[in-house]
Amino acid sequence: MRIVRGLVRHEARLWTSLALWATRRTHGTDGGLAFGYARGQGATMAGLVVVCAVETFGMAVLLRDWPVAHRVVLALDVYTVLLVVGLHAAGVVRPHVLTPDALRVRQGVHVDLRIPLEALRAVRRETRITHRPAEGELDLAVGSQTSVTLELRTPVAHVPLLGRPREVGVVRLHADDARALVGALTRARTGPSPSPDPPG
């Protein structure tokens, strides 16, 4: 039952993301700095949409003499195209968000992880190709790579869409502007420099 509820939430968030994307709005960015990560997946998603559209046309030709089958397959094909577009839209409208006390790490509608700034031990730019993460690590790759590594002094709980919660102490993610994200995180962790005392 928990899996079914998770899938229903996933679908609802996808359609919500599609609506937000169509109206040029974002989700959960009020009061924080947003850092996108979806630029690297745009070409891949566009290619998938084209492939789905070609498949839809081909099936329409093949099933033109079977109207019932044609309508069923057409409905499935249209749903598939919307699903692919929705996955891209979710990545666009749900960026990473930095607030004064935490970094909200996201990946579409699949991952939404809040990391308190006080839990961060190290932050660095690090381009890595996707690999099998070790125990206690979470890799959120875009275009098969990550560009920012977060090492935590205090593990946080990651709740996947399907599966059991687990503690993670290293999070690798992608940001379109990794330098800006690392810089903003560094400033947020250290805080402003104290003002000098006025001359006596």
pLDDT tens sequence across 19-58: 999 999 999 999 899 999 999 888 888 888 888 888 888 8
Cβ pair 169, 155 in contact under 8 A = yes
Tally of domains in the chain: 2
| Rounded-to-integer distance, Cα 44 and Cα 7, Å | 24
The last residue of one of the domains, among 55, 74, 93, is 93
Residue 198 lies in a domain: no
Residue 197 lies in a domain: no
Confidence of residue 193 (pLDDT cuts 50, 70, 90): very low
Residue 200 lies in a domain: no
Residue-wise pLDDT for 112-156, tens only, equals 999 999 999 999 999 998 777 788 999 999 988 999 999 999 999
Residue 199 lies in a domain: no
Distance set, CA 10 to CA 13, 181, 189 (Å): 5, 27, 33
Instruction: Provide mean pLDDT across the span 65-74.
Output: 90
- Could you list the residue range(s) of the whole structural domain that residue 118 is in? 98-190
Flag whether pLDDT at 192 surpasses 60: no
- Rounded to two decimals, what is the model's pTM? 0.84
Q: Are residues 129 and 180 in the same domain?
A: yes
Q: Is 99 helix (H, G, I), strand (E, B) or coil?
A: coil
Q: Are residues 48 and 72 in the same domain?
A: yes
